[in-house]
Amino acid sequence: MPEFLSAPAFALWGSPVSWLELVAAVLALAMVGCNMREIHWGWPLAIFSSLLYVVVFAKARIYGDASLQVFFAFVALWGWFQWLRGHRSDGSALHVSRLSSRGITLTLAACAIAWPAVALFLRRFTDTDVPWWDGFATGLSLVGQFLLGRKFIENWLIWLAVNVVSVGLFIHKGLWLTVGLYAVFAVLSVAGYLAWRRRLPALERA
């Protein structure tokens, strides 16, 4: 990676913001904008942004999120394929929809398992000082990414929870540009939910 990317671009509240973090943030914002509009080009943007954030988060010792970005880069390929070629179980083209009651139960169960599983792993095998907060953001992001790839509207609710917790996590780490980015992400999670709600079939809008 070019050395200039690690150089400070500017400072926020006394903490340097590298060009690496700046470029990653811009790509991430563009990605969310594409996701809100169901534009499939958001997925390759996710790949590039995630690979840059691997380095940003590793330098800050947020290893769960750093590892998550590697996962995101691979899953983005799957998500891209889903948005281009994916189908529902009835053979219809992939479209925005709600989870069934069973799907909601499975999603909550996945979140309840993923959070402590990731947190305990981080606590045992890394030197992170925030295993539970990092584990929450990491574990729930895995669930949110799957729901996004399958165009379930509930993905935005998962991302809202992840983004709110991440704001506090990044404040603790002094990643001020990323704090601002995730605060914007939290707002966009609500906007994304409302935008996708308008795309739901009429029978699912209630």
Q: Which residues of 151-167 are buried (b: 16+ CB within 10 A; e: fewer)?
A: bbbbbbbbbbbbbebbb
The answer to whether residues 117 and 124 touch, using CB atoms and an 8 Å cutoff, is no
| pLDDT 10s digits, 119-171 | 998 888 878 888 899 899 989 998 999 999 999 999 999 999 999 999 999 89
Give residues with Cβ within 8 angstroms of 114, minimum separation 6: 138, 139, 140, 142, 143
Tokens of 24: 């990653």
Which parts of the chain register pLDDT below 50?
A: 4
Write the DSSP symbol of residue 166: H
pLDDT at 60: 76
Q: How far is CA 130 from the centre of its chain?
A: 18
The answer to whether residues 157 and 191 touch, using CB atoms and an 8 Å cutoff, is no
Nearest CA among 82, 49, 78 for reference residue 65? 49
Give residues with Cβ within 8 angstroms of 71, minimum separation 6: 142, 145
pLDDT at 87: 84
pLDDT at 94: 87
pLDDT at 22: 85
